[in-house]
Amino acid sequence: METIVTDLLCIGAGLAGERVAVEAASAGFDAICLSVVPPRRSHSSAAQGGMQAALGNCFKGDGDCPDVHFSDTVKGSDWGCDQEVARLFVETAPIAVREMAFWGIPWNRVVPGKSTYFKGGKQFEKIEPASKQGLITARDFGGTAKWRTCYTSDGTGHTLLYTMDNKVVELGVQVHDRMEAISLIHDGETCTGVVARCLKTGKLRAYLAKATLIATGGYGRIYRETTNAVINDGGGAIIALDTGIVPVGNPEAIQFHPTGIVPTNILVTEGCRGDGGTLLDVNEERFMDKYEPEKAELASRDVVSRWMTHHIRKGLGVKSPYGDHLWLDIRHLGAQHIKTKLREVEEICNNFLGVDPITQLIPVRPAQHYTMAGVRTNKDGAVYGLKGLFSAGEAACWDMHGFNRLGGNSLAETIVAGKIVGEKVAEFLQGYEVTFDTAVTRKALVKEQERIDSLVQCKNGKENVFAVRNDMQDELMDRVGIFRNGKDLQTAVDNLQEIHARAQQVGLKSNGIGVNPELSLALKIEGMVKLSLCAAHAALQRTESRGCHAREDYEARDDRDWLKRTLATWKEGESLPTLDYEPVSPTFELAPGERGYGTCKIISCDENDLGD
């Protein structure tokens, strides 16, 4: 079997993975990115609305600064984030945005003079001064005090990824696409690379590296209704969890985006509401301003998704063959605005719904969108438990999002964390040498080949992998969704344990040769069910409501008992994850309080519990 050696191995070639590779390559180190798809097809390209950075250039962003961005981020997280990381993030974001402009991003710019904008369906005027002409502008996003979401129409992820990939080519970083990492190579203390499977030939290959980065994005595909691409199935988190050493942080923290289109669940950007779009019910009446008079449609995503679900439960949803939904109305923004600043939304609606958003309403409802959960790292991106292993982007629990991510902060995190973690990886590699133990490598390769042979030969059983996946997804959708309660969560844990037992008995109906989606899923299905159990079990144990984790039987946010981060590890042979906890922040720059939106009781903690 072929073996390839490099300084840095990035599992994932989206924005976070490529940004770390750029930093390492710029410092003179060899870097290879593995990707299951060509890099420009990574899910980063699907990000539409923009990237938050406190520039303060536009009229409605006047007075913005990292302090305001920090406050918004901490409140958005419902005080679940690491405030040291959040501070590091907001201070670096303006630098990162300008750096991307230097590399070629065509950011939308300030145009001086009088123009109109919409808020809550009403039209207002603004005057941009001539002194700001040509500066990077921004749009409004949920949960923010200022307009700070920098954008390129509604294709920001697309332009960022193409520019980043150009930089990767320029620096000589190799990208091995159609290559999937299926296990980490480690000796219990140090990670030295991965076993990867070629998706074209089916052959295994060992990649050995001084430093390995997990940057595989989120794992929304454990849910049935998700905005995530089919490649977001948790590959990076699975191989980390399989070590029995590396924890997944906050597995119960799963975000639902308010506006997935019905029935395909493709995302239409928060920029629609940021630019003035409104949500309407079956009577075509606006309702968010009744629930949230201050923020309305631009409260944080967890809050808007809850109110939308609540409104549908009241019988005010629109009936359809695909279930009840609500309407998103951007008609009043006008053809000129939609065709320039929301052109991808127009294409999506035309191509996937047969709806013209210039003249028609868009059917939407909340869909799983983002995992604040991820491979737990410290502020440098170093993963807990294994030396030489790092993580960045949505795959990581860094942890600047806590229990709710603000729109625009994830795209920013890929670039900002990629820059910061990349610098730390380069520092780590300076003078660092590692011995590659051939016995450890060979053992990992043999283990994976035997696992493949067992699936092909149906040695463990003949369970249908697609049926197992579907049952897992249904369980999460039905019982571990936007609203949760102890009875349903316990049922979910019990049922998922049965599904986990079935996942261990999967056998292939195909021959497993070459390009084989059935084998690809079969190699991951047990890990996907483990991630599902981590989410359900951690949600059952967290007896409070915080951000996206809304317990109907424990409605209060409990800062006294639950101002802590969940760490889930999976020991070999166990049927449930082991849950440990750590403080959410070593210190509190911003003490816990009310967010300013959303209705939630708060059980306060003693000031002595907040650290220095």
pLDDT digits (tens, 9 = 90+) for 567-582: 999 999 899 999 999 9
pLDDT value at position 129?
Answer: 84
Q: Which of 186, 197, 273, 542 is catalytic?
A: 273
pLDDT value at position 181?
Answer: 97
Q: Which of 148, 257, 365, 595 is catalytic?
A: 257
pLDDT tens string 146-164: 999 999 998 999 999 999 9
* Long-range CB contacts (within 8 A, 24+) of 599-605: 600/545, 600/555, 600/556, 600/557, 601/555, 601/556, 601/557, 602/556, 602/557, 602/559, 603/544, 603/556, 603/557, 603/558, 603/559, 603/560, 603/561, 604/559, 604/560, 605/559, 605/560, 605/563
* Burial annotation 87-106 (CB, 10 A radius, 16+ → b, else e): bbbbbbbbebbbebeeeebe
Q: Is the pLDDT of residue 32 over 70?
A: yes
- Separation of first and last alpha carbons in the chain: 54
Q: Is the pLDDT of residue 607 over 60?
A: no
In terms of Cα–Cα distance, which of 373, 418, 422, 434 is closest to 223?
373
Please state, in angstroms and as integers, the Cα–Cα distance from residue 92 to each residue in 53, 56, 65, 415, 520, following that order.
8, 15, 12, 10, 38
Fold of the 257-367 domain: Flavocytochrome C3; Chain A, domain 1 (3.90.700)
Q: Is the pLDDT of residue 612 over 50?
A: no
Alpha-carbon distance of 577 to 80, in angstroms, equals: 21
Work out the average pLDDT over 114-120. 80
Q: What is the model's pTM?
A: 0.94
Name 180's bridge partners.
197
pLDDT tens string 425-458: 999 999 899 999 999 999 999 999 999 999 999 9
Alpha-carbon distance of 35 to 44, in angstroms, equals: 13
Instruction: Examine the residue annotation and report whether 310 is marked as an active-site residue of this protein.
Output: no
pLDDT value at position 1?
Answer: 72
Q: Is 591 helix (H, G, I), strand (E, B) or coil?
A: coil
Q: Is the pLDDT of residue 215 over 70?
A: yes
pLDDT value at position 586?
Answer: 86
pLDDT value at position 606?
Answer: 66
pLDDT value at position 211?
Answer: 97
pLDDT value at position 608?
Answer: 55
pLDDT tens string 317-339: 999 999 999 999 999 999 999 99
**257-367 and 557-610 in the same fold:** no
Rounded (10°) angle between helices 486-503 and 517-541 = 150
pLDDT value at position 611?
Answer: 53
Q: Is the pLDDT of residue 512 over 90?
A: no
Please report which confidence band the pLDDT of residue 600 belongs to, taking 50, 70 and 90 as the band edges.
confident
Give me 549's structure tokens: 């984790």
Q: What are the structural domain ranges in the chain?
A: 257-367, 557-610
Given the structure tokens 């294709």, which residue do they identify? 155
pLDDT tens string 462-496: 999 999 999 999 999 999 999 999 999 999 999 99
CB atoms within 10 A of CB 518: 17
In terms of Cα–Cα distance, which of 393, 389, 344, 387 is closest to 373?
393
Alpha-carbon distance of 69 to 73, in angstroms, equals: 6
pLDDT tens string 550-573: 999 999 999 999 999 999 999 998
pLDDT tens string 393-425: 999 999 999 999 999 999 999 999 999 999 999
Fold of the 557-610 domain: Ubiquitin-like (UB roll) (3.10.20)
Q: Is the pLDDT of residue 598 over 90?
A: no
Give me 176's structure tokens: 């091995």
Q: Is 60 helix (H, G, I), strand (E, B) or coil?
A: helix
- Determine if the peptide bond prior to 263 is cis (ω within 30°): yes
pLDDT value at position 374?
Answer: 96
Instruction: Examine the residue annotation and report whether 273 is marked as an active-site residue of this protein.
Output: yes
Q: Considering the chain, what is the average pLDDT of its residues?
A: 94
